[in-house]
Structure 1
Amino acid sequence: MTLFRSPFRRPTRNVARAMVIWAAAVSCAGTAFAEPPLINGVFQGADEEFAWTIATSCSQVDCNGTVSSNQGWTSPMRLINGEWHFSITKPDGGLCADGSYVPTVIGVMIDPVSLGGVVTTSSDGECPGSTLTSRPFQLHQLG
């Protein structure tokens, strides 16, 4: 028969139980949903030829938005790999070597943090020898 009981035995067991509970809680916890940077407001490029009104939002599933131009077009936009993307088609935006006009697809990517982006234009292969061009741009928010 033991006359002396260690005062450290029960606390050690409780610490071990707490560690098991903590490890289970950490392993079962889901990843936190971080809200990606949204782009909302009226924006203009350095050349000041255009103004875009952009409205974006996110749900637990995806992020979407709309961009409208002062030049008369509107396009849906979507967040893909942390960048906002949208495209528009200009019906007569490409000029072929024979003088005919063809649709041009314009793709736009915007970094929501820096507001820098890239515009990529393609005549969609409708002209023989069609070209694909890309150029960077920088947005700034008005107001």
Structure 2
Amino acid sequence: MRVSSVLAAICVAAGAVVASEMPAGASPGEWGLNGTYVGTSNGEWAKVNDVFRDQPSIRSTWTITSTCSYPGECTGTVTSDWGWTAPIYQKSSVWYLKRTVDGWQPCPDGSAGPGLQVYRFFPSAPDGSSADPASTTLMGDDQTTGVSGSCGSSKVIFISMPFKLVKLS
């Protein structure tokens, strides 16, 4: 009997935590990212192998569809106007998108190895000063890493840039 009352208390507490993350009046359809967004990777603040080095800024339009099992836990798909599609997921209120970029790291022999690009972002105040769960502006980073051994050595390039995603519709 004691075990079941402890389990009931844990379930009530967990329900209170989930309910507190959800905006008032929100429904499961409102928890995810759905619609058209503009994503910008800011090359002016790029780091190449942890050293600041200007890179071209990249702007793209993303169409995102997602579904959520509960607030903070979602999965979906992103289609970019640059011609790629990739899965997206949210874990603990942070969104992640991981994709392979073919021909990303130049090799000494003239060929090019792949890169692993990882976007990580969360809802933020438009100026990036604080987290804001109700915001349609998301801030984070865009990191791409060469694949070790793809150019015949374990030396890889790692580029990290600030990333901003803004909802259009």
Task: Normalising by structure 2, report the TM-score.
Answer: 0.60
Is residue 27 of structure 1 aligned with residue 9 of structure 2? yes
Among 41, 50, 63, the alignment partner of 1:53 is 63
Is residue 44 of structure 1 aligned with residue 38 of structure 2? yes
How far is 1:28 from its partner?
A: 6.0
Distance 1:104 1:28, change over 3 A: closer
Is residue 75 of structure 1 aligned with residue 75 of structure 2? no
Letter in 1 for 2:33: I
How far apart, in 2, do the equivalents of 1:96 and 1:29 lie? 54
Task: Normalising by structure 1, report the TM-score.
Answer: 0.70
**CA deviation digits over 1:22-45, x for unaligned, max 9?**
x99x83652213466522211113
Query: Any unmatched runs of 5+ in structure 1?
Result: 1-22
Letter in 2 for 1:135: M
Moved more, 80-89 or 44-53: 44-53
SS in 2 for 1:116: strand
RCO greater where, 1 or 2, for CA within 8 Å and sep 6 or more?
2
How far is 1:106 from its partner?
A: 0.7
How far is 1:78 from its partner?
A: 1.2
Is residue 136 of structure 1 aligned with residue 140 of structure 2? no
Is residue 123 of structure 1 aligned with residue 146 of structure 2? yes
How far apart, in 2, do the equivalents of 1:63 and 1:87 lie? 15
How far apart, in 2, do the equivalents of 1:84 and 1:28 lie? 27
The CA RMSD measured in Å over matched residues stands at 2.7
How far apart, in 2, do the equivalents of 1:72 and 1:91 lie? 13
The residue aligned with 2:116 is 105
Distance 1:89 1:28, change over 3 A: closer
Aligned sequence identity (%)? 30
Letter in 2 for 1:124: V
Distance 1:140 1:60, change over 3 A: closer
Letter in 1 for 2:61: A
